[in-house]
């Protein structure tokens, strides 16, 4: 039953990825037309900006699909490891790859004392897993298995591809919204003179107002979609880790250590935080924002794991300790 559920989720992620990519292209084209109309006041002339937005959408999508994982790894300053430098880590990853029935991913380490990990790539055949050096030094083997099992769950369930495409959608919408707002600010005077000479422009004015509303709301809506998707992915990956390891206590203990760790992961940012097993941006940091939390509460995730082996829920003080960091 569990296997059927996980494979069904992978199939659903394939369909969602295709739909999301199509939606991103349509959204880019729509924004391109609105920007062109707002700038030029001519629907025919706006076809040029629409085509330009379509090219941008195509290039952005292809770049992310084929090179997004490399960009994320480079931004995270991760370096490839070997069996000579990290034999235990590679052995655990190999164990989880066999359990997941997927090819062995490339394995990277981020030299940082913070405890965290993430998976990225466009498919199980082109996947990478990165962990921090702090995670390796603080977790025992069972806890490390739980974390790697979680990340391998993202690989098998095709969450890694979906996460990349969601990132394109959110980033693209924000970029086009910014272009539209700037065009309306800097091009407003010229448009008003053109409207005065034409003696009208009512339709264009309505479209500009609509465009302004969309430019403000669309990035927020896209971001909320990303957050919702990210949270559900984490629950599923936790369950998948237990399927691989048959040991919910390992991941449970790892999440506790990660959640109570006060080290700051400097290489993490708002664009990559949803990839990590736990939110790398702590509540006490200036860059933190609870409104945009990309992960479900760690206390909830731990309690779900504790329920699998008959453990009692976390005590109130423990829940408070975790929530103070998220």
| pLDDT tens, position by position, 208-244 | 676 677 667 766 766 666 666 667 788 889 989 999 9
Q: What is the predicted pLDDT for the residue at 190?
A: 46
pLDDT of residue 98: 97
Quick one: how far is CA 323 from the chain centroid?
21
| pLDDT value of position 120 | 94
Tokens for 207, please give them.
Answer: 């479209």
Q: What is the pLDDT at residue 37?
A: 74
Distance CA 318, CA 268 (A): 26
For the chain, list residues with pLDDT below 50.
1-4, 189-190, 192-193, 196-200
- Structural domain count of the chain: 1
CA angle (268, 272, 277) in 5-degree steps: 85
d(CA 155, CA 165) in angstroms, rounded, equals 15
Is 151 a residue of the active site? yes
Domain region containing 129: 2-323
Q: 254 to each of 78, 83, 160, 235, 286, how far by Cα in Å?
A: 21, 23, 21, 15, 26
pLDDT on residue 128: 97
Residue 192's pLDDT is: 47
The angle at the Cα of 264, spanning 260 to 269, to the nearest 5 degrees, equals 115
pLDDT of 202:
66
Residue-level pLDDT at 4 = 46
Residue 120's SS3 state is: strand
- From 143, 151, 234, 252, active-site residue: 151
> Which tokens hold the place of 46?
């706006």
Measured distance CA(109)–CA(89) in Å, rounded? 10
Torsion of CA 132, 138, 141, 144, to 10 degrees: -40
């Amino acid at each position: 039953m569990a296997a059927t559920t996980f494979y069904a989720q992978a199939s659903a992620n394939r369909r969602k990825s295709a739909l999301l990519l199509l939606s991103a292209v349509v959204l880019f084209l729509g924004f391109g037309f609105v920007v062109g109309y707002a700038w030029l006041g001519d629907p025919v002339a706006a076809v040029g900006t629409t085509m330009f937005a379509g090219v941008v959408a195509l290039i952005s999508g292809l770049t992310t699909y084929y090179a997004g994982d490399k960009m994320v790894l480079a931004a995270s300053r991760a370096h490839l490891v070997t069996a000579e430098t990290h034999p235990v880590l590679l052995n655990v990853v190999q164990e989880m790859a066999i359990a997941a029935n997927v090819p062995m991913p490339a394995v990277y380490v981020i030299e940082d004392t913070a405890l965290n990990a993430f998976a990225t790539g466009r498919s199980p055949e082109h996947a990478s897993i990165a962990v921090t050096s702090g995670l390796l030094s603080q977790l025992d083997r069972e806890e490390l298995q739980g974390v790697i099992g979680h990340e391998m769950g993202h690989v098998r369930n095709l969450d890694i591809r979906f996460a990349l495409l969601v990132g394109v959608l959110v980033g693209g919408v924000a970029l086009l919204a910014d272009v539209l707002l700037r065009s309306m600010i800097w091009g407003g005077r010229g448009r008003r003179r053109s409207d005065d000479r034409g003696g009208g422009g009512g339709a264009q004015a309505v479209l500009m107002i609509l465009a302004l509303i969309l430019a403000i709301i669309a990035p927020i809506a896209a971001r909320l979609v990303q957050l919702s998707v990210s949270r559900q992915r984490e629950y599923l990956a936790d369950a998948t880790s237990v399927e691989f390891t048959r040991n919910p206590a390992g991941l449970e203990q790892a999440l506790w250590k990660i959640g109570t760790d006060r080290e700051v992961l400097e290489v993490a940012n708002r664009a990559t935080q949803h990839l990590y097993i736990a939110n790398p941006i702590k509540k006490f940091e200036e860059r933190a924002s609870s409104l945009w939390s990309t992960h479900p509460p760690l206390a909830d995730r731990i309690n779900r794991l504790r329920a699998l082996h008959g453990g009692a829920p976390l005590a109130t003080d423990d829940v408070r300790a975790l929530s103070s960091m998220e």
